[in-house]
């Protein structure tokens, strides 16, 4: 037995990370330096025969040597060489070991392994697409390095041997470990021992025992399917004999084999992925095509090299590289409550994107209205915007695990789309699997554990997707309210109206004061324009009243928009964070530790789901709030469209004031000749009015045909002075 482990010197034993059939892994942390390591120990040799002990010792030494060679590789766990770091601690560990074998010391990866990620209830239907891609990218680099640079075949690829290193920023790096079964890659296919883990080793390992490095490609395909779907692809509940027989007869295009729900002894070849996963549609289609390469039962085809590559790269890897380069733009159509996903490229146009959105949502092209989430790096959609500009690399990871770890609220999609006009709302019905429909009928009976487990997974997928859809809908209308609020605040219309109000009111008051002064101080000036003045006053009052109502309209829109921001934010919290479809409760009750659900429990859960769905989508406030925001947006747009008319009215009243001013100047130039009284220069009020008129004219920012617009302040004053001097000259009387 392995000696009892305890802290030693500056090294604190933090605990056990895991154990297998013959070994344990411990976690250590250096108290002063903070370095963390993992140590791998053999826990028992007594249960093995002499030959088995020799074989285990050979593999142990091989793994020990490999790990010491793997230093600073991004996707392979590095060995830690204590010979230099702390030889005394090395001696302590080896002194507690058995069979005179060295303890294997590795870098510590703090995020657990992929198996634990798959065992998390939230990942019962597979990991999110981002994580699937990251795992495949890491495995592709690690396995190709082992094959091409080290000449090593791993032979035991599985989720348990992919560990996770999580950085301070929350990002995960996936690393391959456990080289206990690794061995040199033969140049040719040769007879070898049967090693690996059931459900992950290739058919030829058991059928003939003659295999090569292509066995790692098969394991890669199995892992890819499992992390994407949450289950193994080839009837994992069956006996090894049934599995191998089915794989030998499997056509090339088949990527999974499942039991028949009606007759478990009958197996069905599957050429496509099931719908219960978290992959985007365009990527899932290409992923399915790629799976046919590593899951080809013919190891010669599986291991063939790509003919179009400069270097010798297996087709499995070259095709995977292309798959991982696909960029998928995620869009949520709020009006149809539908998730849209499109592969975008650098040469794709915005018109093309809007066209496919209109096609898939049954909107008119001119009705497609795109809204970017808050803090979108593109900030604003312009005529030159391309779909690739809307793709946000950092937003691909939508897992709850990452959001919890990083404490970042990543938007569920990259773009929201609304129906700009003729708005209608519809709710896409949840998609139930054939198994769910069959099990929901009272006549159906079954106690098959694999079937009830599959039933729980199907139900989990349905309620999870509905919960996600609700959160996307509420996030969408919240963003719509935020965009509307920003649009109202940023609009120049209030400033334009206010400026016209101030200048027009000022010049009107000046004109009114001038008329009063003319009547009281210059009775010789006859103002024969009473009808025109009364008409001007009435028009002025109407324009001022309309402008004030327009300002009140914009203020009201802003208040309502802010209210809708708060209301939708609260709804998002109530219906999103509070888990209206009870996904978390379902996970705890039916999915922990590979659990299942009875038919009675399933039918009750389906009934409760139906009630919640009815209450939410038909009787609930979600669509009601969305429609109110749509109406508010149209209300604001109506006010915005009224601004040009209001400005035009200001132009008209300005023109009328100008005409009346010129008429007054003319009256002042030719008053009735009652007595030869000299006329002084134009009164100050006239000059002030001229100045106000000039500011009014120059501040509109809009073209006008008003004849007064051609006069500057100086020219108006000069004209008034010229008329005054002319009056003085013509009306002056020589002294007696």
Distance from the Cα of residue 150 to its chain's centroid: 39
Here the tokens at position 419 are 């129906």
Query: CB-based burial of residue 693 (10 Å sphere; 0-12 exposed, 13-18 middle, 19+ buried)?
Result: buried
Let me know if 156 is a catalytic residue: yes
The three-state DSSP-derived secondary structure of 318-362 is HHHHHHHCCEEEEEEECCCCEEEEEEECCCCCHHHHHHHHHHHHC
Q: Which of 100, 104, 80, 86 is nearest to 26 (CA)?
A: 104
CB 687 within 8 A of CB 717: yes
Q: Is residue 165 classed as helix, strand or coil in its secondary structure?
A: strand
CB 335 within 8 A of CB 425: yes
Catalytic residue among 156, 296, 397, 458: 156
CB 387 within 8 A of CB 414: no
Measured CA distances, 450 to 231, 237, 598 (Å): 11, 7, 11
Q: What letter does residue 234 receive in the DSSP assignment?
A: B
Q: Report how far residue 696's alpha carbon sits from residue 353's, in angstroms, rounded to the nearest whole number.
A: 46
**In this structure, how many other beta carbons lie within 10 angstroms of the beta carbon of residue 611?**
9
Q: Report how far residue 343's alpha carbon sits from residue 364's, in angstroms, rounded to the nearest whole number.
A: 22
Measured CA distances, 493 to 122, 396, 482, 484 (Å): 49, 38, 19, 15
Q: Report how far residue 607's alpha carbon sits from residue 580's, in angstroms, rounded to the nearest whole number.
A: 14
Here the tokens at position 135 are 């795992």
Measured CA distances, 608 to 431, 446, 576, 601 (Å): 16, 22, 17, 11
Q: Report how far residue 314's alpha carbon sits from residue 291's, in angstroms, rounded to the nearest whole number.
A: 14
* Residue carrying the six token digits 């992929």: 114
Q: Report how far residue 125's alpha carbon sits from residue 553's, in angstroms, rounded to the nearest whole number.
A: 50
Q: Report how far residue 697's alpha carbon sits from residue 706's, in angstroms, rounded to the nearest whole number.
A: 9
Measured CA distances, 245 to 158, 207, 234, 240 (Å): 22, 9, 11, 9
Provide the strand spans (E) within 377-460. Answer: 415-419
Catalytic residues: 156
């Amino acid at each position: 037995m392995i000696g009892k482990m305890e802290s030693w010197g500056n090294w604190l034993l933090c605990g056990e990370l895991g154990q297998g059939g013959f070994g344990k892994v411990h976690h250590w942390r250096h108290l002063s330096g903070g370095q963390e390591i993992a140590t791998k120990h053999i826990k028992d040799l007594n249960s093995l025969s002499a030959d088995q002990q020799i074989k285990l010792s050979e593999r142990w030494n091989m793994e020990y040597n490999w790990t010491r060679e793997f230093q600073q590789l991004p996707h392979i766990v590095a060995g830690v060489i204590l010979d230099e770091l702390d030889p005394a601690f090395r001696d302590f560990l080896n002194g507690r070991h058995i069979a005179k074998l060295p303890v294997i010391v590795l870098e510590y990866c703090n995020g657990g392994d992929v198996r634990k990620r798959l065992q998390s209830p939230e990942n019962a239907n597979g990991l999110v697409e981002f994580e699937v891609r990251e795992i495949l990218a890491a495995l592709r680099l690690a396995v190709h390095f082992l094959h091409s640079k080290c000449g090593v075949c791993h032979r035991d690829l599985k989720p348990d041997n992919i560990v996770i290193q999580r950085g301070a920023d929350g990002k995960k790096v996936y690393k391959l470990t456990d080289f206990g079964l690794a061995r040199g890659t033969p140049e040719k296919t040769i007879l070898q021992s049967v090693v690996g883990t059931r459900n992950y080793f290739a058919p030829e390992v058991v059928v003939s025992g003659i295999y090569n490095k292509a066995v790692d490609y098969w394991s890669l395909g199995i892992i890819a399917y499992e992390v994407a779907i949450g289950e193994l692809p080839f009837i994992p509940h069956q006996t090894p004999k049934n599995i191998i027989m089915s794989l030998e007869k499997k056509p090339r295009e088949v990527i999974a084999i499942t039991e028949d729900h009606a007759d478990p002894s009958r197996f069905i070849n599957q050429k496509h992925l099931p719908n219960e996963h978290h992959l985007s549609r365009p990527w899932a289609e290409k992923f399915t095509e790629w799976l046919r390469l590593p899951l080809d039962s013919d190891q010669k085809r599986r291991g063939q090299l790509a003919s179009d590559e400069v270097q010798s790269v297996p087709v499995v890897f070259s095709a995977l590289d292309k798959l991982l380069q696909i960029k998928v733009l995620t869009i949520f159509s709020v009006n149809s409550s539908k998730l849209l996903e499109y592969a975008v490229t650098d040469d794709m146009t915005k018109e093309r994107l809007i066209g496919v959105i209109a096609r898939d949502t049954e909107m008119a092209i001119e009705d497609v209205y795109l809204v970017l989430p808050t803090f979108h790096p593109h900030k604003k959609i312009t005529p030159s915007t391309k779909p690739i500009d809307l793709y946000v690399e950092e937003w691909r990871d939508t897992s709850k695990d990452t959001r919890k770890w990083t404490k970042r609220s990543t938007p569920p999609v990259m773009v929201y789309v609304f129906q700009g006009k003729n708005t209608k709302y519809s709710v896409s019905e949840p998609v139930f699997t054939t198994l769910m429909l069959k099990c929901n009928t009272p006549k159906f009976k079954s106690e098959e554990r694999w079937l009830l487990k599959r039933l729980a997974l199907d139900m989990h997928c349905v309620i999870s997707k509905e919960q996600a859809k609700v959160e996307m809908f509420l996030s969408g209308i919240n963003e719509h309210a935020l965009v509307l609020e920003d649009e109202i605040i940023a609009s120049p219309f209030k400033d334009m109206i206010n400026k016209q109000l101030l200048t027009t009111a000022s010049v009107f008051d000046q004109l009114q004061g001038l008329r009063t002064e003319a009547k009281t101080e210059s009775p010789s000036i006859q103002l024969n324009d009473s009808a025109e003045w009364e008409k001007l006053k009435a028009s002025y009052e109407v324009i001022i009243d309309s402008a004030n109502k327009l300002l009140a309209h914009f203020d009201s829109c802003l208040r309502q928009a802010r209210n809708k921001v708060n209301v939708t934010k609260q709804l998002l919290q109530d219906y999103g964070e509070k888990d209206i479809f009870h996904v978390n409760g379902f996970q705890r009750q039916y999915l922990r530790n590979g659990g299942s659900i009875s038919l009675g429990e399933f039918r009750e859960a389906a009934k409760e789901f139906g009630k919640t769905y009815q209450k939410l989508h038909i009787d609930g406030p979600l669509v009601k709030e969305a429609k109110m925001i749509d109406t508010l947006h149209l209300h604001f747009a109506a006010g915005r469209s009224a601004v040009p008319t209001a400005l035009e009215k200001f132009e008209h009243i300005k023109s009328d004031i100008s005409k009346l001013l010129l008429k007054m100047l003319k009256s002042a130039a030719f008053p009735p000749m009652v007595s030869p009284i000299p006329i002084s220069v134009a009164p100050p009020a006239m000059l002030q009015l001229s100045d106000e008129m000039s500011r009014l004219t120059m501040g509109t920012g809009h073209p006008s045909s008003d004849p007064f617009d051609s006069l500057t302040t100086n020219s108006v004053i000069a004209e008034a002075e010229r008329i005054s001097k002319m009056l003085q000259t013509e009306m002056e009387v020589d002294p007696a």
